Structure 1
Amino acid sequence: MVGRATNCCSYSDLLNKLSPILSDSKLKESWSAVEINLRSLDKARLRRQDLLLEVSKVEKEMNCLLKMASISLKGFESLIKEDKVKKDLSCLIKEKWKHFMNIKRCLPQTPSPLLKLVLGEINVTLPHLSDRFRYKSNYENFKLRMNIIGLLFSLLAIFIKLHRFAEALLQAAQMWFYLTLTIREHILIANGSNIRVWWLLHHYGTVATVGLLLTWPEGFYYRQFSYLFHIFSSYVAVVHVLQFQYQTKGLYRLRALGKADAMDITVEDVRLKDLKGALSLLLPFLLVAQLWQIFLGYELFQFFKEGCTDWQVPYLSFCSFFLGLGNIYATSATACSKFLRLRYLARAQSS
């Protein structure tokens, strides 16, 4: 209170000293405008604080109602399972769960352990759907730009033998890209995006792989593997650009039809004709990339058997095998589910 009074007195004393200068009509008019605008701004700030407090109260009330709604939905589901006659209501309960999840996504979500570690206890849920969609679009454009830049540098490294320091900078940039991508994906998940757990694990594994490659010293075996890795990176970048084009067009069409959420980043439902074309176009390229990654793991294992003493080699071999096999499993599972859906749609259209 004393500090405030002192500040108030000093301000009034300053105003009294400057009153002769402010007696000028133009200065007086301009100063009045400054005071009016600042008073209006202060009122708006107080009104905003009151609204935020009201929003916080509503969010607490909604969290309690969400728990009650979840219990009632689960209870209704258990009644449907017990009574075979009422199984036709499963479609209705699915729609209600979907509506429930859409409401839940509007509320602040608990950040993932990675976000807590990197950003601390912070709310990363964007309040407006337009802000979420803009963030997701920025994520997709960031991924596309970085893949194109990575392709150019990988091609440069293939045709021009770079100094080890230059390659280390390129590998550090790749680590930054995948770390940034992972953090952004965790923020997208908190804002309602459906990203499979495997792709997050894949990014963690890729960060570890590039980190091991970064610490691998210059030598005969490093140069042999580095050339193969740059060719592989170039190919993967091209495949990612093709995949981006396919998913972007598919999602744009599905959002227009109302069959996809604004925060989806992968295509889960496309028309029969488009599904055939997408699978026949992308699947061979993806499988080649994944088999290539397993081949890199095999080459590294051969280096180890030949007597390479660099400690990074066996760990890089394990990471390559793990990522390649995991990618094949995830891609095969997705392709099988889409092929089954393709058969179902074909039967539905023929009947």
Structure 2
Amino acid sequence: MEESETRRIEEEVRRAVEQAKELQDSASSLVAKASGEEQSMRQRASALDSTIRRLRSSIDSQLAHKLLDPKLADKLEEDLQKARCVIADGDASAFLPSRAQVGFLRMFLGPIDVRASKKDVQLKVKEEYNSYRDRTALLFLLFPLALLILRSWLWHGCLPAFPVQLYQAWLLFLYTGLTLRENILRVNGSDIRPWWIYHHYCAMIMALVSLTWEIKGQPNCAQKQRGVQLFLQWAMMQGIAMLLQNRYQRQRLYTRIALGKAKRMDVVWGETAGVDGQLWLLCPVLFIMQGFEAYVGLLLLRTAFAGVASEWQVVFCGFLLVLMAVGNFVNTVQTLMVKSRFKAKMKKSKSRQELN
């Protein structure tokens, strides 16, 4: 009885080993076949992507030399954009040439390919990015608001060092997380404007430097902490602007996706976020925030050069705030000009159709 049981177990083990070998052979054959088909798809996708780029360049060249009717050029450009969105928003996007991974990602993650092979995974990355922005926008508003309220009610007008440094550490975590997610989105085909990533690089550096900034108290606490107080007030305005952006921008993006003007992986920023009524509300908030950001930076530089707070961190943070304010203003104006030209072209095209 025991011998028969032993033989049965030995036979089952032998069959399991044979099945494992057969499974490995089948998997190897399938992977080899899939690799060959994948390489073929990559070549086709790369060839089509190059063709679309070449056709766009040819249209621009013909239009510049007045060899092509502007109305026809607009139609051809629109068709090419729709074709690009079709392959970028479908399963074929996994076979498109990927953008080079930037040094920032390699520094944190090493030489790992972060490009998702499936479209649903790519969209999950974008959904997580939007969720992260929604969560941090509320904290961006509430964290400095709590510090300013406690400053008046509990700390007698003088901020202690620890809560301010805790907020600065949170800012470093926030901007590092945003930058990592945005670089991963770009690798996966999202059309995020480079300036916003550079802006977050500057914000990361500023948060890191501000952690070493000694928060001085009495005497003359109000004068010494004037820059910190204004920075917290600006951060509250930033939180309000982020909430408005997150609320409005997706409405505009969904419309552009439906028209074939954008891809589902794209990210639309505040100044392109909404329709005209929304922009009337959002643009003044953005410009006021940018002006206040520059004012806080200039105030920090003035306090440093006046000898009130002469630490190098004050000069560095003041310079970065001015730089970011100027960059944000230029980028916002450029985006609004592009939007205005696009609307003018659409009106012109519509009037032509009505005349015909």
- Please say whether Structure 1 and Structure 2 have the same fold, judged by a TM-score greater than 0.5: yes
Identity percentage over the alignment? 25
Structure 1: distance between partners of 2:271 and 2:286: 19
Maintained 8 Å contact 1:294/1:325? yes
Give the alignment's TM-score, normalised by structure 2.
0.77
CA offsets 1:148-199 (integer angstroms, 9 cap, x no match): 1232222211112464223222211211211221121111112221111211
Structure 2 CA distance for partners of 1:118 and 1:340, relative to 1, 3 Å: same
Confirm whether residue 133 of structure 1 aligns to residue 109 of structure 2: no
Contact 1:108 1:124 in 2 (8 A): no
Deviation at 1:124, TM superposition (A): 2.2
Structure-1 separation of matches of 2:170 and 2:271: 34
CA contact 2:249–2:270 (8 Å) conserved in 1: no
State the distance in 2 between where 1:250 and 1:43 align. 51
Q: Report what 2:73 is aligned to.
A: 90
* Match in the other structure for 1:122: 112
> Equivalents in 2 of 1:339, 1:75: separation in Å?
23
Alignment of 1:46-61 (within 5 A): 46=28, 49-58=31-40, 61=43
Corresponding position of 1:280: 280
Alignment CA distance shift 1:50-1:297 (3 Å): same
Contact 1:108 1:125 survives alignment (8 Å): no
Q: Mapping of 1:209-288 within 5 angstroms?
A: 209-219=206-216, 220=221, 223-266=225-268, 275-288=275-288
Q: How does 1:92-241 map to 2 (within 5 A)?
A: 93-94=76-77, 95-96=79-80, 99=83, 103=87, 105-106=93-94, 107-109=96-98, 110-161=100-151, 163-219=160-216, 220=221, 223-241=225-243
Deviations 1:20-51 (A, max 9, x none): 47969xxx99x899889967864674355335
- Structure 2 SS opposite 1:215: coil
> Secondary structure of the equivalent of 2:207?
helix
> In the alignment, which residue of structure 1 is the partner of 2:156?
none
Tell me the distance in 2 between the aligned counterparts of 1:67 and 1:225: 50
Mapped contact 1:108–1:123 kept (Cα < 8 A): no
Instruction: Specify the code of the residue in structure 2 equivalent to 1:290.
Output: Q
Distance 1:149 1:37 in 2: 55
Distance 2:3 2:277 in 1: 77
- Judged with a 3 Å threshold, the aligned counterparts in structure 2 of structure 1 residues 34 and 252 are, in CA distance, closer, same or farther, namely farther
Corresponding pairs, count:
330
Q: Which ranges in structure 2 are unaligned for 5 or more consecutive residues? A: 152-158
Partner Cα distance (2:5, 2:224) in 1: 78
Unaligned residue ranges in structure 1 (runs of 5+): 1-16
The aligned counterpart of 2:154 is none
| Aligned partner of residue 229 in structure 2, secondary structure | helix
Q: Structure 2: how far apart are the matches of 1:75 and 1:309? A: 53
2:293–2:322 Cα contact (<8 Å) kept = yes
How far is the alpha carbon of 1:63 from its aligned partner?
A: 6.8
Is the 1:259–1:269 contact (alpha carbons within 8 Å) kept by the matching residues of 2?
A: no
Aligned-partner Cα distance in 1 for 2:348–2:68? 26
The Cα offsets for residues 233-264 of structure 1, whole Å up to 9 and x where unpaired, read as: 12211110111110122223443454432112
Matched letter for residue 174 of structure 1: L
Q: C-alpha distance in 1, partners of 2:200/2:3?
A: 63
What is the TM-score normalised by the length of structure 1?
A: 0.78
Distance 1:182 1:62, change over 3 A: same
CA distance in 2, matches of 1:332, 1:82: 29
Judged with a 3 Å threshold, the aligned counterparts in structure 2 of structure 1 residues 117 and 343 are, in CA distance, closer, same or farther, namely: same
CA gap of 1:66–1:171, structure 2 versus 1, over 3 A, is: same
CA contact (8 A) 2:46 2:97 kept: no
Answer with 74-83 or 134-143: which moved more. 74-83
Q: Report the Cα offset of residue 111 of structure 1.
A: 1.4
CA shift for structure 1 position 286: 0.7
Please give the per-residue CA displacement for 1:8-31, whole angstroms capped at 9, x wherever unaligned. xxxxxxxxx99847969xxx99x8
The Cα RMSD (Å) is: 3.8
Q: 1:290, CA displacement in angstroms?
A: 0.5
User: What is the distance in 1 between the residues matched to 2:270 and 2:346?
Assistant: 14
Q: How far apart are residue 296 of structure 1 and its match?
A: 0.2
